[in-house]
Structure 1
């Protein structure tokens, strides 16, 4: 099957489109864009800039992908957006490309769900299997690791890292790094313990849960300042044996 492009859509000559791609009505594709096999643009989707999109992604109406950063320091640099495979972008999602102060790239890996109205700012790094509920906003340079759920109407300030298997409650304001496996909620958000529901759903066994709980409590009792990135790196090191077994790769 060849790709299907609706006659009302505009596609610039620089766009590379794979097999079985569907471009619905009134889409605009303008830039150095690559779209992988099996990806679908429902309708009214805008993709611009230096944007690479993998296979089997779905973009719903009025999503704006690869747009200029909302950053006063952005001066038109030739930056990038990279998207992996099997992601879903619901209506009105906006994703900005990178800036020179953030490595020139915004990146999204695989199997993420971005619900209606989510905003991913410049230079964010998003790993795999994450869920962003309606109207979540990420500031620039935010790192989201794996299997994270962020509740609706939540905002994450710039340069924050959110650890794997954590859950952010709805309407939260995140201004500090969040431990792996944690439940955090509030404005400003505070840790409320382990994300036990998420941990169990991801098939952690009893021994693993007990180990996670022990490590988690030891750091909480020490009252470590989670706004300090080097402290968070030390915390992540404590979890690596569990994370690596589950995720199959080293987490920073």
Structure 2
């Protein structure tokens, strides 16, 4: 066996149709089903199950007892072909579950690149998670939830179906989200998912300077503190957005939503 050939524990069960890239490692008592593709350098630990159709990129780590690519938990699902697509360099800790999509929701669940999903995270059908997110223990996303880049979700927090969570948002421990969370927003830890300011510390760590953060704070106050009707708040944001691409991003997010904004 060459150094680049997959290294498969003798107790693992691999469907003949599965495609494993170079350097893939598969641990003890793991099941990899039909119509699964796993990219180079990915490590699948012990007691995992990966069902297809599932496409997995390179250099991912499934630590152990992870179950991905299973049928969606949706009573309308009737066995139609749907997919789970995972990017590169993600880490999935113990007992993470990721469901495939449904025909009514676009047919695919997607996970981007460089995400950390800690123990017992659940990502339901037709969710779309972008890049560089951290989901702490017991994070739960219902179906059709979209999560932007650099989002942090604390332990035992969750999102209602069809919600959107914008780039750089931060959800506190136990926060329950039932509406859209705009980019840059911090959500309170009182269990009701109320906005509690902007994620200033996270923005600083990602290189946002004081001028950008000040503009985002002003936009946040316009939407969440000033007590304005949403239509009037959006008019003021449009003026502020002329001098700030970040405010423009926030305004575009608000205007494109179908669920109510969580205010």
Structures share fold, TM-score greater than 0.5: yes
Distance 1:156 1:125 in 2: 13
What is the aligned counterpart of 1:7 among 10, 16, 32? 10
1:207-226 to 2 correspondences below 5 Å: 207-220=211-224, 221=226, 222-224=228-230
* Map of 1:187 onto structure 2: 191
What is the aligned counterpart of 2:35 among 32, 52, 55? 32
Please list the CA deviations of residues 127-148 of structure 1 after superposition, one character each: whole Å capped at 9, or x if unmatched.
0000000001000000000000
Q: Indicate the RMSD between aligned Cα atoms, in angstroms.
A: 2.2
How many positions carry a matched residue from both structures?
A: 238
* Map of 1:150 onto structure 2: 153
What is the aligned counterpart of 2:22 among 19, 23, 28? 19
Q: Which structure: larger Rg? A: 2
Please list the CA deviations of residues 42-90 of structure 1 after superposition, one character each: whole Å capped at 9, or x if unmatched.
1111000200000000001110010111111111111000000000000
Distance 1:162 1:204 in 2: 19
Distance 2:55 2:131 in 1: 17
1:88-237 to 2 correspondences below 5 Å: 88-185=91-188, 186-220=190-224, 221=226, 222-224=228-230
Gaps of 5+ in 1: 226-230, 246-251
Q: Tell me the CA shift for residue 244 of structure 1.
A: 9.9
Q: Tell me the CA shift for residue 31 of structure 1.
A: 1.7
TM-score normalised by the chain length of structure 1: 0.89
Q: Tell me the CA shift for residue 5 of structure 1.
A: 0.5
TM-score normalised by the chain length of structure 2: 0.86
Distance 1:113 1:15 in 2: 25
Secondary structure at 2:17 match in 1: coil
Is the aligned partner of 1:242 residue 2:241? no
Distance 1:111 1:199 in 2: 18
Distance 1:224 1:22 in 2: 52
Secondary structure at 1:215 match in 2: helix
Please list the CA deviations of residues 145-188 of structure 1 after superposition, one character each: whole Å capped at 9, or x if unmatched.
00000010111100000011110000111101101111102322
Q: Tell me the CA shift for residue 210 of structure 1.
A: 1.0
Q: Tell me the CA shift for residue 104 of structure 1.
A: 0.2
